[in-house]
């Protein structure tokens, strides 16, 4: 189970990286956060819990990437810090999976916080058109709350 959650977290951060380097279709939505990385992670955690949701796992992806860079022959620091918060909504997950059971591929949902080159950002992966847009709206609402909007 933990390896599945870590893979989902890596996918979420990978989507951000792809968007940052691509000028095509956007794979993730990101917002700059006016504050520190720690303030952003606290705001995201509070917004998720405030929706009555339970955080299943927090992937400290930035720490892992920094710790293992030399092991994989890289000297590139991708993030000063990066965490991915993974969670689900029983109500919304049931709804989207009743519409299409293969929407299980999108669960759990993730919101990431990353500090890259002095810019703290909060974001999430974009979902396909159809029922998953309701999940995307939930994620955006959580992020907007974390941003103070």
pLDDT in tens, 86-120: 999 999 999 999 999 999 999 999 999 999 999 99
Q: How far apart are CA 29 and CA 135, in angstroms?
A: 13
For the segment(s) 2-147, the CATH number from 3.30.310.70, 3.60.40.10, 1.10.10.10, 3.40.309.10 is: 3.30.310.70
Residues paired with residue 32 on neighbouring β-strands, in sequence order: 121
Q: How far apart are CA 122 and CA 83, in angstroms?
A: 10
What does 19-70 look like in DSSP terms, one character per residue? Answer: HHH-SSS-SEEEEE-SS-HHHHHHHHHHHHHHTT-EEEEEE-HHHHHHHHTG
pLDDT at 22 over 60: no
Q: Where are the domains of the chain?
A: 2-147
The pLDDT of residue 2: 43
State pTM to two decimals: 0.82
The pLDDT of residue 25: 57
- Comparing 15 with 120, the larger pLDDT belongs to 120
Residues paired with residue 96 on neighbouring β-strands, in sequence order: none
Contact of 16 with 112, CB cutoff 8 Å: yes
The CA-atom distances, in angstroms, between 37 and each of 62, 113, 121, 123 are 12, 7, 8, 13
Element (H, E) at 14: helix 2-21
CB count, 10 Å around CB of 141?
A: 13
What's the mean pLDDT when you consider all of the chain? 87
Contact of 37 with 119, CB cutoff 8 Å: no
């Amino acid at each position: 189970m933990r390896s599945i959650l870590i893979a989902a977290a890596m996918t979420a951060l990978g989507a951000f990286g792809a968007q940052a380097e691509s000028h095509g279709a956007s794979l993730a939505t990101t917002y700059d956060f006016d504050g520190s990385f720690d303030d952003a992670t606290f705001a995201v955690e509070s917004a998720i819990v405030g929706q009555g949701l339970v955080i299943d796992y927090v992937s400290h992806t930035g720490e892992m990437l920094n710790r293992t860079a030399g092991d994989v022959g890289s000297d590139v620091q991708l993030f000063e810090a990066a965490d991915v918060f993974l969670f689900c909504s029983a109500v919304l997950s049931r709804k989207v999976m009743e519409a299409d059971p293969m929407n299980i591929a999108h669960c759990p949902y993730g919101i990431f916080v990353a500090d890259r080159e002095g810019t703290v950002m909060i974001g999430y992966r974009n979902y396909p058109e159809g029922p998953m847009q309701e999940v995307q709206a939930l994620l955006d609402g959580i992020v907007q709350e974390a941003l103070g909007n």
